[in-house]
Each structure stands twice: as structure tokens, then as C-alpha cells.
Copies of this chain bind each other. A is one copy, B any other.
Amino acid sequence: MNAPASTVEELTTQRDRAQQDHAALVARGLKLDLTRGKPSPRQLDLADDLVDLQGPLTSAAGTDLRNYGGLQGLPELRAIFSDELQVPVEQLLAAGNSSLELMHDALVFAQLGALPGAQRRWVDEPEIAFLCPVPGYDRHFALCERFGIKMIQVPMTPDGPDMDVVERLVAEDPKVKGIWCVPKYSNPDGTVYSDETVRRLAAMPTAAPDFRIFWDNAYAVHHLTDEAAEIADLLALCAEHGNADRAFVFGSTSKITFAGGGVAFFGSSPANIEWWLAATAKRSIGPDKINQLRHVRFLRDAEGLREHMRKHAALIRPKFDAVDKILTAELDGTGLASWTKPAGGYFISLQVPEGCARAVVAKAKEAGIALTPAGATHPYGDDPTDSVIRIAPTYPDQAELEEAITGLTTCVRLVGTEKLLADRQS
């Protein structure tokens, strides 16, 4: 059990030890990478049978899947994911290999063609804004930044975004057109939205008639334990509260089969699906249905999907456990850090003292340990508290991961005690 240093002398001793440890760490010349939420090669191995496509290249209905057509995607694949994504098959589309593409395209289609319920295209609005629960996912923020969409931060709570703040902002400001949500095992802090949060999102009055919830259910089936988190059914709740067209649901198999060779999904209300298909019909003569067929033959059904995800959990849970164990051993009780203990998803969020996150990442970099840039969890890469570090434990192998996290704790001790000392001396 560690204890917080209380005197300047104790702090100085701790700082000196941390400096020595860091120098030793740098001297080792490591090259470790905790930056991105990528599946490890062993996880990808789990789906290697995907490439071994047997049987006729036709759908259950007899369609030749090699040819053009089928803009909605293969019905039998949509059926496998319908329950887990909480979207009826007929409102769920299967597309290419990236849900990020679909989120991008949703923003594009809304900018260049009026959404159901919209008064005009978003490019014809003087300004539009999105609510960004923080900490959040940097690629969501990058899309807003690219399109000049103003980002308004909303704090996360253990139940999801702070709904008092959300409700107030959407009620008063018609330029607020959307909100980014990763409702299950959120990126980066693993939060699962409470039923009440989902209900309030579905029910809240919005000043914008074309307000949309970008529901990035990236980790719908990515449980770390046998206890699968469940979230409320946003699409159904929106319909129930008279806001049927409010939800855009996204998902993908990127962290189920092959990260770069999977299938992405889009689900929404009938009116939104019609709007989406009208836009995509001009863009494409259909997705790669052969790859969708591969996924059907490989995953088989919803139970096959769940079984496959248990194999992922068996590989990555020891990594999450190791991170927690090392952080606990090295930092628990020091007052220098707290961190999340997610039950699913891809990330652990490490909270260090205010003003220290950038310095910790820099110190880690000196030691050859690459971390996601501090601030990436916030719009414009700017975490105003400079305190959040995202840890992505899945990609490195177990030994490398443990080495990297141990090194990281050295950096936290060094930067944290230096900060405490500076605070005392100022």
C-alpha cells in the first residue's frame, strides 16, 4: 500500500527516486505503443477462418452476391446484429468496412441534403454545433473540426453525459444539431449509460427540429466479463417519445473480426433510412456483399457472435487486469492518479493531477513508450484540466504491456511529485 507524501522532504525523496527510475527507464531504450485501440494479432487470428469462404456466393434469397446491387446490405448479416445493436432488421443497413465512414457520411449528407425534419441543409445554417461529452473519442471530434462544426463540451458522469447540461443546451440553442455518444463501455472511460440517461436523451425537447444523436455503439458486444452490460433501446425510446427520427445508430465488426476488413452498420428510423438510402443510392451500387457473406458464414448467428466475443474477452481481459494490478501496486494511495475499471470496451482512462497529463505523456515518450497525446480525449485536442490519459491495452502482448504500464507509473510518479513540490513551493 502506497501512501501520499506529506512533507516537502518526503516529496523530494520521492521525486529523486522517480527521477532515478525514469533515467533507468530511458536507458533501457524501450519501443512500446499504447496509442490506439487496435486488436492484437492474436485477436485477429480468432477470425482467420473468415477468409475461407465455402459454399455458393449467393444470399439466402438466391441473389448472386458477386454482382452489383443490394444497397441495404445482406439481410442475413443484418439479422445477426439486429438484437445487439437494438435496431430492427428492416431499419438496419450493412455497409463497408468502417463505421467511422458512416458517421462521416451522415455529417456530409446532413450538410449537403436536408435531414427529415430539417428546415434547411446544414451548410445553409449560419453555424451548427455538436455536444461532445468529455472525455470522448478523438475521431468524433476530428470530424466536427474538419467540417467547422462547433464543439461544446459536456462533462461525463458515471451514468453518461451530464443530462442536466445536455437538456439545457439542446433546449435553448437551435444551432445545437447533435451529440456524440458511445453509450456502452464509452471511449475512453468505459462508462455504460444508465437507462435514465438514455430515456432523457430520447425524450428531451430540442430547439433544433433536426437534432440527431450520433449513437456510436462501437462496443455493443465487447464485454470483458461474463456480465454483459445492457443499455436501454434508444431507437424505441425516441419513437415512444415522439422523436422517432432522433437516433443514428452506428456499429461495426472492426473489433470483432478484422479491424480493416469488417462490416459496418447504420440503423435509424424508417424516415432516416429512406433519406440515407436516397443519398447512398447516388454514391454506390451496393456494398461488398461477398465480405458480408463471409461474416454470415463465419459468425453464423447471434449466439455465434457472442461465442466469438468470449474468445476476445479471454485474450484481452488479462491485459486489462494487468494494467489495473500494476496501477494499483504502483500508484494506489499515492494521491497521484485514479483510473477506470471498465467491464468492456477498449480503454482505461487514467486521471493524473491537473496540469500533469501532457508532461506524463512527454516523459513516457522520452522512455520510448508511445501514448495517445494528452488532450486527444477533448475537442480540439485541448483538455482544459490537462489530466486525462487514455490507455489502450489491447494491442501489445502481455509482457510489453506490463513493461509499458510499469514505465508509465514511473512517469506519473515523477511528474506528479514534481507538481506537488512546485505547488508547495509556490
Contact = CB atoms under 8 A, between A and B. Distances in A.
B97 A288 contact: yes
Contact of A283 (B38, B51, B57, B104): B104
B38 A68 contact: yes
Contacts of A96: 96-97, 288
B289 A260 contact: yes
Contacts of A101: 283-284
A291 interface: yes
A83 B247 CA distance: 46
Given A51-B53, A53-B51, A291-B288, A65 B260 contact: yes
Contacts of A47: 66
Contacts of A258: 66-67, 290
Interface residues of A, number: 50
A243 interface: no
Contacts of A41: 64, 66-67
Contacts of A285: 98, 100, 259-260
Contacts of A288: 96-97, 260-261, 288, 291
A97 B65 CA distance: 13
A282 B123 CA distance: 19
Given A51-B53, A96-B97, A261 B290 contact: yes
Given A67-B38, A100-B284, A146 B113 contact: yes
Interface string A117-147: 0000001000000000000000100110011
Contacts of A51: 53, 57, 290
Given A44-B67, A57-B51, A68-B254, A290 B260 contact: yes
A331 to B, nearest CB: 30
Nearest to A261: B290
Contacts of A139: 282
Given A69-B260, A97-B287, 14 more contacts: A38-B67, A38-B68, A39-B67, A44-B64, A65-B261, A67-B258, A67-B260, A96-B96, A104-B282, A104-B283, A108-B108, A112-B147, A260-B285, A260-B286
